[in-house]
Homo-oligomer: A and B are copies of this chain.
């Protein structure tokens, strides 16, 4: 089995027109003020509505005529919305109302409004079901050989990982949650996932973003990944530190490309590799037929507002 690079990026960016998918499949938009901030399937709305009826506090208003979900108007602040949704989700987790809640992470993800303001924080596992825009950092770990050859550290995800177990990943990648900033997340994830000490992690160079609208069996994942390149010393060997990684490989770029084409990478990690290959001249207008279309699938416009990053 071999995939083209365009197939690889489209496997991740699989919702090319969220409006028409929402319309044709009958999903509900999560809205705040005048903005769409999430997308929830009709099936999950049914389970949510039932949970809301059994719950003591008003948390959401559901309008079936416009297929719209909103936080209850009685919840007037970020804090009140966050604590109300936390209580509701805790009940729903116990009742297994949403499949996503079986993957409870104890980590809070932000929902942003049209001016970058925080609307609420919600449990990460529910982010797929709410279909909210999420943010992460992906770090390409690079080693420059004495012979001029570039190699890349690749992580094999643990077999017990809650998502995509056993697939290949960047040396370090993680969601930005709990109100952390991007740079802070880089340092924290480098330490936790690969045992990269802070003095090395600080060399990570910001190199752009990739952005896509993915879906899984649990819901929608409109995501923005902040991409970093981190050149590591030749002698450094990353260590699986928190059990999320089973093993690290130091691969030539040819091996990395083969892994991508064989579908061994988690889809959004594959997309980050493609971004690396493009930025560093491995994929070019001359050697890649789908060069132009690849970009449209690596920088997908999303229908949801985002934060002012340096004020996160």
Contacts and interface: CB of A to CB of B under 8 A. Distances in A.
A309 B295 CA distance: 13
Q: Identify which of A205, A206, A300, A311 gathers the most chain B CB atoms within 10 Å of its CB.
A: A206
A278 B207 contact: yes
Given A182-B286, A285-B182, A224 B292 contact: yes
A206 B301 contact: no
A248 to B, nearest CB: 24
B207 A279 contact: yes
Interface residues of A, number: 38
12 contacts: A182-B285, A183-B285, A206-B281, A206-B286, A207-B278, A208-B278, A226-B285, A286-B310, A288-B309, A289-B308, A292-B306, A293-B306
A229 to B, nearest CB: 8
A94 B159 CA distance: 72
- In the A-B complex, the 7 residue pairs with the smallest Cβ-Cβ separation, listed nearest first, are A299-B299, A205-B281, A206-B284, A182-B285, A285-B309, A206-B281, A292-B306
Interface in A269-296: 278-281, 283-293, 295-296
Contact of A286 (B183, B283, B306): B183
Interface of A: 181-183, 205-209, 211, 224, 226, 278-281, 283-293, 295-296, 298-301, 306-311
A281 B207 contact: yes
Given A182-B285, A207-B280, 10 more contacts: A181-B286, A205-B280, A205-B281, A206-B278, A208-B278, A209-B291, A209-B292, A211-B295, A289-B310, A289-B311
Nearest to A224: B292
B292 A301 contact: no
Nearest to A281: B205
Contact of A291 (B278, B284, B309): B309
A148 to B, nearest CB: 14
Nearest to A283: B206
Contacts of A224: 292
A200 to B, nearest CB: 16
A188 to B, nearest CB: 15
A284 B311 CA distance: 13
Nearest to A290: B308
